[in-house]
Structure 1
């Protein structure tokens, strides 16, 4: 009898041993194993970028990007910064510029028109010809007229294309070569104290609504930094040489959309 008891006891202990082994294996199977691929993969930190306007650092994913430039907020993108550049404009730097005379800030805006080739601004490639001209890259063989102006070195601070695109070539802090021999209210050398804005078009055609809209927005940004700006056409400051912006530029519409005081429009609102 005692022998059978020992046999049963041994069998029961063997059963407990087998059960314990199974429980250990079950726990090992249910425990998540570390992923060797994930463990070996290094998490790269997010790239940081600099706001072009205020120079604050921020993650690239949170920044607003325009032409490979970064901004921390829409306000800084749309503002004329302290270096004289508008973030939302397309920047095409012109070599045709100088520093302004010491202690001179711009207090005049001169409005021009330009078309390259003359009268062919409806061609989609025409705007690029103007950009090339201001950057001294115009191919003189691309059109007979281009050979006539080859070697001229001119620029403007801004160009407003027929579609309303805003392009900036020169910082407003610097002097662009747009006015030439000129005089404003007895003051010579208007380039020294003016900002030049070119509207794509000629003297024989109406300007586009998109151009007036972009121009009005641009003027508001300029006035935020230069509140005492006055306004004139190229023909006003160089009447013996120039006719732009021409009789189809609507000065009344311009004044209404920008809310400029008549005192800052010394040549009046009559189209000319």
Structure 2
């Protein structure tokens, strides 16, 4: 197997099934997971991508496998194991209220030794984030991978994507990953969760001090985003599109940014930021964590 055949982008983390309440006695299951969403977005946009994670053998895992295949994800990075699925029970949508069912679940069985030989040499960006980093022993394994890649000079991308599992002990872990990162996306909600006693400017300054050479994408939903890099500050408004829902918009944003960097390495940072914003907007035009095609993103860019 040659290095050239392996993907330049590898996304590590969870895939899961959301159970969304549809009424007093009704629920709807939806395949999801922040890191898996990022991988699907990048692959759908045309970047050869591996999703490094583990799923169950049952019908929930089978759906994730099928949708991964449809997105074109490299199957050599996915592991299917004989464990129960990771589930998120979303019992209220506005505002979101949820809890996780995942004791001894499939995601925790991810085994880095089963990854294809030579993947590190082919990897040009590796992405990490969300609840996978706080679910042990998975989190420790992923942190070790991130540290080894950083030491080898492979750029690390990180989106904390804070959820209910991130407690008061999370900020030190966030800061450890942030210090390894070449690309760091953080939302206004994440920033408040991690640094509740700091105002946004002070919190952003702290994050920038942790990773002074990183590209920092600070997203604010419908208020757009700001990119900081090497003394530059780029303001990118959100694109005005008909919104079906905003599920997965943040995942689409970072997925679009990484895809743009890999597809157009010579483009200016402002172009990558604009492409990321357009990818997030395109994702919002369809219900669920939609992975938009390149054509859908181009239509938004033409607005």
Q: TM-score range by the shorter chain?
A: under 0.3
TM-score, scaled to structure 2: 0.23
More strand by share: 2
